Amino acid sequence: MPASRPPSRYDSLALISRAFPDDPVVLTCGATCREMAAAGRRDNHYYIVDTMGIVTPVALGLALGMAGQPGRRVVGVEGDGGMLTNLNALTTVGYLKPENLLLVVLDNESYASTGGQYTFTTDLDLADIAQSCGLRPYRADGLESLQSALSEASQAPGPSLVHMKIAPGNAQVPLLLDDPVTLGDRFHRWLAGSMPG
């Protein structure tokens, strides 16, 4: 029986959005931002539209700033290309050990936003690398197992990383043309309003 095709990034992002309606979700540049915005814009989404490799540091800073808020997670959504661009950030996460940090890597083995060039994840396993840095790894191979992994990771102390292979290619969705300053301001206003008084 042939293996089933991995889910699309778009469907994976829509599931992540539903799973974390009240927690900060930091999204990597390019197609990930566009597809999440098309799936449904939310004020708790921080769209980092023009920079690769900074989702993990930004999410880490938020997690450290929100430490001590029971039941809340900071979710960073990265692609394999972005994670490889700043792989050393995982060592900082593992060293500081924020229990409320959850990273999700949607891995299509390519730099999908720049032409589909292959990444090193054709041979390297990002979940293994994260585990060696001190993160709790979870693996998903479809939307059902992604839902289970997100739920389990949300209930266990972090830092955690959920790794899932997704189908190559980008969804045909509108460009996200908002000024990055406006996107950041919207998120920061939501964040300030969501903090306990």
150-190 pLDDT, tens digit per residue, is 999 999 998 999 999 999 888 898 888 889 999 999 999 99
Amino acid residing at 180: P
- What is the structure's pLDDT at 2? 45
Contact present, 79 and 28 (Cβ < 8 Å) = yes
Q: What is the distance between the alpha carbons of residues 67 and 195, in angstroms, rounded to a whole number?
A: 11
Q: What is the distance between the alpha carbons of residues 115 and 192, in angstroms, rounded to a whole number?
A: 37
φ and ψ of 118, to 5 deg? -65, 145
Contact present, 137 and 160 (Cβ < 8 Å) = yes
Residues in contact with 104: Cβ distance below 8 Å, sequence separation at least 6, in sequence order: 16, 75, 76, 77, 78, 150, 161, 162, 164
9-194 CATH choice from 3.90.1150.10, 3.30.390.30, 3.40.50.970, 1.10.10.10: 3.40.50.970
Strands 117-118 and 110-111: antiparallel
Q: Which is higher by pLDDT, 88 or 4? A: 88
Domain ranges of the chain: 9-194
Q: What is the distance between the alpha carbons of residues 49 and 72, in angstroms, rounded to a whole number?
A: 24
Amino acid residing at 43: D
Q: What is the distance between the alpha carbons of residues 181 and 46, in angstroms, rounded to a whole number?
A: 11
Instruction: List strand residue ranges (DSSP E) for 31-159, in order.
Output: 45-47, 74-79, 101-107, 110-111, 117-118, 136-140
Contact present, 104 and 13 (Cβ < 8 Å) = no
52-94 pLDDT, tens digit per residue, is 899 999 999 999 999 988 889 999 999 988 899 999 999 999 9
